[in-house]
């Protein structure tokens, strides 16, 4: 077992771990400050913030030999016998000097800076900076630059860490950003008419540690300390990127990536990033409606449920059959509860998968692992990132329920052909996109004698359905999705359901009249795992933080990834 000594204490490195000094120290609860280093980017060691004292311990004699000067922790491999000193007077004085250097031209504009509250410079100035500013010369003030329609560069805040430059080169491979000039004249720049507009562009804003690169969509909209963060899974495509859904005052304000090495690493695409807007859309359905004549009339939930049940009971007693359509936007739990309810109505029920939107082809960014490496001192394990052509989060999970309750996933087109033989059609939608269903598909479904819709948006099918129930949107519900790699992932509700709207799980429990039906998604997943073979690995309705591979065991991750955690909460503890 490899042993590392940090600040005089011995620690055993985990088997097979590929750590540098920053990662090893972090693993054992010791923080080494850094700016330019990022676990998924090449190592350049240009900010010098992570410099520490480094040495080696001779395994035979036990003698420790220290290097005569400070060494960047990001470039120091953590090996058997490595000795790190992270808190000596020499290291602390060095950090003070680096902070003073980085802040020479940096404006003191924290009160109006969007990064305030999640700023690496703000955090480390409290922790490692000098109280007094000794620089009396004129500051080097550089103007703002637009680097794309969505991203602005505040040059005077930039510390030239080059995280943004390395990202565009190493992850999407588009290299729109570069460093222009040198030393004090150095600037981050784009080439004329070549903005940072690759599909992953927004990640440069997340990577910038100091608020130099900012997202114009979020700019001056919210102070970050007012935002509550909720663990979510993006519904934009079947990749199922892990996201933080950040809300305040009943509105979602932004999506940020959450690290998951098995799915999205540290990134999300711009489509998913700005997909948060659907949670605040004015086209969300706001209640329950019944078609009377040519018009829909809003009715309270109890009257809606009574009328729906009367209609269904009369027709089912008359031996009419039911076609149930489950959209790939439903969670595993919603699909289970919906299919279970439909199966309980009659044995003359056919289940089908709703339309699965596909746009273009999968777009995979496969980073060049050799780029930026120097010897064995680059500790990056870049993983490919795929934006899926399939624009729904849970086809695999819904198909699993269709296999269990029906005769497999009848494709939507085939289901449309069978509407004539099913007088009752019940559709469970849930797409954030009101154009999820096309006009000819609506016309085919409308041939049913009774058309019932549970959905989130005002859309062409809602315009013609006999019964329309508004249900909680993707941001208002909890549950699990199964992504393209058959990884089951849990997401939590960011917002409470809007007034007059129920989460689908509650509404099914009310409509089915089963007062004892579980409505907590964890309980439903537990029940589903008992009977659906594909979910057999789920224990007690619990899903691990990084998700559960339903088919095989996860491969161990060789690097210890962690997210930058420059937050106001850290500052307040200093
Ligand atoms: S803009 Fe931000 S990420 Fe880019 S070099 Fe400057 S400080 Fe670093």
Q: Which atom of ligand 1 is nearest to the CA of 165?
A: 4
Residue 373 has pLDDT above 50, yes or no: no
Residue 2 has pLDDT above 50, yes or no: yes
The residue whose CA has the least distance to atom 3 of ligand 1 is 208
Q: Which atom of ligand 1 is nearest to the CA of 157?
A: 7
User: Ligand 1 center to residue 555 CA distance, Å?
Assistant: 33
Domains of the chain (ranges; CATH) run 1-138 (3.10.20.740), 142-220 (3.30.70.20), 288-358+393-543 (3.40.50.740)
Residue 342 has pLDDT above 70, yes or no: yes
User: Ligand 1 center to residue 205 CA distance, Å?
Assistant: 9
For the stretch 415-451, pLDDT in tens is: 999 999 999 999 999 999 999 999 999 999 999 999 9
User: Ligand 1 center to residue 35 CA distance, Å?
Assistant: 9
Instruction: Confirm if 469 and 507 have CB atoms less than 8 A apart.
Output: yes
Cβ within 8 Å of residue 101, ≥6 positions away: none
Residue 374 has pLDDT above 60, yes or no: no
Residue 380 has pLDDT above 80, yes or no: no
Question: How many C-beta neighbours within 10 Å does residue 193 have?
Answer: 5
Q: What is the sign, positive or negative, of the torsion defined by CA atoms of 91, 93, 96, 100?
A: negative
Residue 465 has pLDDT above 60, yes or no: yes
Q: Count of alpha carbons within 13 Å of 76, Cβ hemisphere only?
A: 29
Is the CB of 312 within 6 Å of ligand 1? Answer: no
Cα distance between residue 462 and residue 229, in whole Å: 32
Cα distance between residue 356 and residue 164, in whole Å: 35
| pTM summary value | 0.93
Residue 372 has pLDDT above 80, yes or no: no
Q: Count of alpha carbons within 13 Å of 346, Cβ hemisphere only?
A: 19
Residue-level pLDDT at 434: 93
Query: How many angstroms separate the Cα of 435 from the Cα of each of 187, 229, 270, 290, 439?
Result: 44, 29, 20, 21, 9
Residue-level pLDDT at 407: 79
Residue 127 has pLDDT above 80, yes or no: yes
Residue-level pLDDT at 370: 57
Report the percent of the chain where pLDDT is more than 70: 95
Residue 562 has pLDDT above 80, yes or no: no
User: Ligand 1 center to residue 573 CA distance, Å?
Assistant: 26
What does the mean pLDDT of the chain come to? 92
Mutate to test the pocket of ligand 1, among 161, 181, 266 (most ligand atoms within 8 A of CB): 161
Is the CB of 91 within 6 Å of ligand 1? Answer: no
Is the CB of 212 within 6 Å of ligand 1? Answer: yes
Q: Which two tokens stand for residue 123?
A: 């955090």
Is the CB of 160 within 6 Å of ligand 1? Answer: yes
For the stretch 220-271, pLDDT in tens is: 999 999 999 999 999 999 999 999 999 999 999 999 999 999 999 999 999 9
Is the CB of 207 within 6 Å of ligand 1? Answer: yes
Instruction: Confirm if 178 and 162 have CB atoms less than 8 A apart.
Output: no
Mutate to test the pocket of ligand 1, among 178, 212, 214, 215 (most ligand atoms within 8 A of CB): 212
Cα distance between residue 438 and residue 342, in whole Å: 24
For the stretch 510-558, pLDDT in tens is: 999 876 766 799 999 999 999 999 999 999 999 999 999 999 988 887 6
Residue 377 has pLDDT above 70, yes or no: no
Q: Which atom of ligand 1 is nearest to the CA of 207?
A: 3
Report the percent of the chain where pLDDT is more than 90: 81
Question: Which region among 123-127, 192-196, 400-404, 429-433 has the lowest average model confidence (pLDDT)?
Answer: 123-127
User: Ligand 1 center to residue 29 CA distance, Å?
Assistant: 27
Residue 376 has pLDDT above 90, yes or no: no
Residue-level pLDDT at 129: 87
Residue-level pLDDT at 559: 67
Q: Categorize the per-residue pLDDT at 168 as very low, low, confident or very high, splitting at 50, 70 and 90.
A: very high
Cα distance between residue 196 and residue 565, in whole Å: 25
Is the CB of 208 within 6 Å of ligand 1? Answer: yes
Residue-level pLDDT at 574: 31
77 or 132: whose pLDDT is higher?
Answer: 77
Q: Which two tokens stand for residue 21?
A: 């000094």
Mutate to test the pocket of ligand 1, among 41, 163, 171 (most ligand atoms within 8 A of CB): 163
Question: How many C-beta neighbours within 10 Å does residue 133 have?
Answer: 11
Q: Which atom of ligand 1 is nearest to the CA of 211?
A: 2
Is the CB of 164 within 6 Å of ligand 1? Answer: yes
Residue-level pLDDT at 233: 98
For the stretch 6-28, pLDDT in tens is: 999 999 999 888 899 999 999 99
Cα distance between residue 263 and residue 242, in whole Å: 8
- Which of 468, 416, 410 shows the shortest CA–CA distance to 439? 416
SS3 66: strand
Q: Report which DSSP code applies to 498.
A: P
376 or 344: whose pLDDT is higher?
Answer: 344
């Amino acid at each position: 077992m490899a042993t590392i000594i940090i600040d005089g204490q011995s620690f055993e490195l985990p088997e097979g771990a590929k750590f540098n000094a920053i990662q090893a120290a972090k693993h054992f609860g010791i923080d080494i400050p850094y700016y330019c280093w990022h676990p998924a980017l090449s190592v350049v060691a240009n900010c010098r913030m992570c410099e520490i004292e480094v040495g080696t311990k001779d395994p035979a004699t036990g003698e420790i030999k220290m290097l005569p000067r400070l060494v960047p922790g990001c470039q120091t491999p953590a090996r058997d016998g490595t000795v790190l000193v992270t808190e000596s007077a020499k290291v602390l004085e060095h950090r003070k000097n680096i902070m003073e250097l980085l802040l020479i031209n940096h404006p003191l504009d924290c009160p109006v800076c969007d990064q305030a509250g999640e700023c690496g410079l703000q955090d480390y100035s409290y922790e490692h900076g000098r109280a007094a500013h000794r620089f009396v010369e004129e500051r080097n003030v550089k103007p703002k630059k637009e680097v794309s329609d969505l991203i602005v560069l505040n040059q005077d805040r930039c510390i030239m860490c080059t995280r943004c430059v390395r990202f565009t080169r190493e992850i999407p491979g588009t290299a729109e950003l570069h460093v222009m000039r040198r030393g004090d004249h150095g600037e981050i720049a784009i080439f004329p008419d070549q903005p940072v507009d690759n599909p992953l562009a927004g990640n440069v804003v997340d990577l910038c540690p100091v608020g130099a690169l900012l997202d114009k969509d979020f700019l001056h909209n919210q102070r970050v300390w007012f935002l509550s963060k909720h663990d979510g899974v993006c519904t934009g495509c079947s990749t199922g990127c892990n996201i933080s859904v950040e809300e305040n005052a009943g509105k979602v304000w932004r999506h940020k990536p959450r690290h998951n090495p098995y799915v999205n690493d540290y990134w999300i695409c711009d489509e998913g990033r700005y997909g948060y807007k659907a949670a605040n859309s004015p086209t969300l359905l706001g209640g329950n409606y019944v078609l009377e004549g040519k018009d829909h009339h809003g009715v309270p939930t109890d009257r809606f449920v009574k009328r729906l049940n009367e209609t269904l009971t009369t027709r089912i007693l008359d031996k009419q059959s039911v076609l149930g359509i489950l959209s790939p936007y439903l969670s595993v739990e919603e699909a289970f509860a919906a299919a279970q309810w439909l199966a309980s109505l009659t044995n003359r029920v056919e289940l089908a998968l709703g339309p699965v939107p596909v746009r273009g082809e999968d777009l995979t960014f496969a980073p060049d692992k050799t780029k930026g490496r120097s010897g064995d001192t680059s500790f990056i394990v870049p993983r490919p990132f795929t934006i899926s052509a399939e624009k729904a989060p849970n086809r695999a999970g819904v198909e699993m329920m269709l296999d269990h309750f029906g005769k497999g996933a009848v494709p939507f087109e085939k289901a449309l052909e069978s509407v004539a033989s099913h007088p009752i059609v019940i559709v469970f939608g849930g797409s954030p996109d009101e154009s999820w269903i096309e006009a000819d598909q609506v016309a085919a479904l409308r041939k049913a004698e009774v058309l019932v819709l549970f959905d989130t948006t005002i859309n062409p099918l809602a315009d013609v359905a006999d019964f329309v129930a508004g249900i909680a949107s993707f941001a208002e519900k909890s549950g699990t999705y199964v992504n393209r790699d058959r990884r089951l992932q849990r997401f939590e509700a960011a917002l409470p359901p809007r007034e007059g709207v129920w989460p689908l799980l509650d509404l099914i429990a009310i409509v089915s009249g089963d007062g004892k039906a579980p409505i907590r998604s964890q309980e439903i997943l537990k029940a589903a795992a008992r009977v659906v073979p594909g979910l057999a690995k789920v224990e007690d309705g619990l899903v691990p933080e990084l998700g559960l591979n339903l088919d095989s065991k996860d491969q161990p991750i060789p690097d210890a990834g962690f997210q930058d955690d420059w937050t106001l909460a850290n500052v307040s503890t200093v």
